[in-house]
Chain A
């Protein structure tokens, strides 16, 4: 099972750039890029912050494939 996410899709829906989202949750743009490419698995705290920022439930943002 691989942990994947719909971060890019929800980010576009909210008209946010990687830099915008990174700044709002307190991480760098490179971290957002890594998460969107499934290279880096964020902590629960960061995942919840991103879900809150994107107005989406965490289980819709992250899923097992």
Chain B
């Protein structure tokens, strides 16, 4: 199963989301009851996330460029696939908002800032992974 450059770049995004969930989500999960919106907490947590993201994407795309030297063409099929996957992502995002509001109203732990941050990041990760996997599916089937 040979993957194109576009398909591999989507996989890079999926792997990033999974790694992010594995590495950083335990912190947000454990601190659901705390007030995370303090300068010390934000700096202490956002800095490693930014460093990790920059290092990961720089290395992944550098390797990708080395493997696929030819320039890729972005055409109307890419636009169609992107619009379909972003439409699904948007619908999931809208649905997630209702779930988010429902959880905030019913779960007292989630009413802390730590809980809200955990919930928002979880929903964004879920939407991002589903959107990317659907995009990959469309690239393989269209």
Q: Which residues of A contact B (CB under 8 A)?
A: 22-23, 26-28, 30-31, 34, 39-40, 42-43, 46
Sample (15) of A-B pairs whose CB atoms are under 8 Å apart: A22-B73, A23-B73, A27-B73, A27-B75, A27-B77, A28-B72, A28-B73, A30-B4, A30-B77, A30-B139, A31-B75, A31-B76, A31-B77, A39-B142, A40-B77
Contact of B73 among A26, A34, A42, A43 (CB under 8 A): A26
Assess whether B106 is interfacial by the CB under 8 Å rule: no
Contact of A28 among B75, B80, B141 (CB under 8 A): B75
Contact pattern, B 64-106, Cβ under 8 Å of A = 1, otherwise 0? 0000000011011110100000000000000000000000000
Cβ distance B93 to chain A, nearest Cβ, rounded Å: 27
Chain B: how many interface residues by the 8 Å CB criterion? 11
CA distance A42 to B142 in the complex (A): 12
| A46 and B76 form a contact (CB under 8 A) | yes
| A27 and B76 form a contact (CB under 8 A) | yes
Contact pattern, B 119-142, Cβ under 8 Å of A = 1, otherwise 0? 000000000000000000001011
CA distance A46 to B80 in the complex (A): 14
CA distance A10 to B106 in the complex (A): 64
CA distance A39 to B81 in the complex (A): 12
CA distance A28 to B81 in the complex (A): 14
| Chain B residues near A27 (CB-CB < 8 A) | 73, 75-77
| B76 and A43 form a contact (CB under 8 A) | yes
CA distance A46 to B11 in the complex (A): 29
CA distance A46 to B76 in the complex (A): 9
| Chain B residues near A26 (CB-CB < 8 A) | 73, 75
CB under 8 Å from chain A, chain B span 1-39? 4
| B141 and A39 form a contact (CB under 8 A) | yes
| Chain A residues near B142 (CB-CB < 8 A) | 34, 39-40
| A34 and B75 form a contact (CB under 8 A) | no
Q: Which residue of A lies closest to B72 (CB)?
A: A28
